[in-house]
Chain A
Amino acid sequence: GAGVSQTPSNKVTEKGKYVELRCDPISGHTALYWYRQSLGQGPEFLIYFQGTGAADDSGLPNDRFFAVRPEGSVSTLKIQRTERGDSAVYLCASSSLGMNTEAFFGQGTRLTVV
């Protein structure tokens, strides 16, 4: 596609429920990143994929958060037993391989846990 696509754009869920957020990166981009942006904050790194594997998941806050990228393209961020503190905008970005490359961001998914 022309850019990074994230679905849904908005998600409201009840506390304790499971949610999946989808990211469709720019075609051919091997690197994919998930960030979380809470109100009044800058984006915070969650996890980074190079191809199908998670190269760095040091930003995932706890084991309720998990992400996959089974075919090296689309990625899904999964949150189990959601809590109100998980409410935020979840941003996905992708980039091509190599040095001096920039990341392109999607519009984000706004998750609200009620």
Chain B
Amino acid sequence: AQSVTQPDIHITVSEGASLELRCNYSYGATPYLFWYVQSPGQGLQLLLKYFSGDTLVQGIKGFEAEFKRSQSSFNLRKPSVHWSDAAEYFCAVGAPEYGNKLVFGAGTILRVKS
């Protein structure tokens, strides 16, 4: 069965600083990987996705993530954080043989200090 671990429940960074949110997954084959962002009272917005190919993927709002098979990781990065990035971030894994249903991590809450 698939599983996702986001080790950091909360992260606080200063505005303009770099950001890395960690995500580790468990899955027997090459998974589909996603990062979603959720602002208070809002739905889930897709930041980026990995299906296959280039292991460094670019997303919206200046985010990127790198798939590392050897580490079973898909960490999210941003070189310079803006105050509007404060939100909760979810990593998710999907598998085509399971109808692409997603298994989500518990989320990481990002706080941005001005």
Which residues of the other chain, A, contact B102 by a CB distance below 8 angstroms? 33, 35, 43, 45, 103
B77-114: which have CB < 8 Å to A? 90, 92, 96, 98-107
A45 and B101: CB pair below 8 A? yes
Chain B residues positioned under 8 Å from A79 (CB to CB): none
A95 within 8 A of B: yes
Q: Tell me whether B101 and A56 are in contact (CB under 8 A).
A: yes
Interface contact A103-B100, CB-CB below 8 Å:
yes
- Interface contacts (Cβ under 8 Å), in number, total 57
- Using a CB–CB distance below 8 Å, which chain B residues touch chain A? 4, 32, 34, 36, 42-46, 49, 51-52, 90, 92, 96, 98-107
B98 close to A42 (CB less than 8 A): no
Evaluate contact between A48 and B49: CB separation under 8 angstroms: no
Complex CA distance for A104 and B52, rounded to whole angstroms:
20
Which residues in window 16-60 of A have CB below 8 A to B? 31, 33, 35, 40-45, 48, 50, 55-56, 59
Tell whether A62 is near chain B: CB-to-CB under 8 Å: no
Q: Which residues of A contact B100 (CB under 8 A)?
A: 31, 95, 101, 103
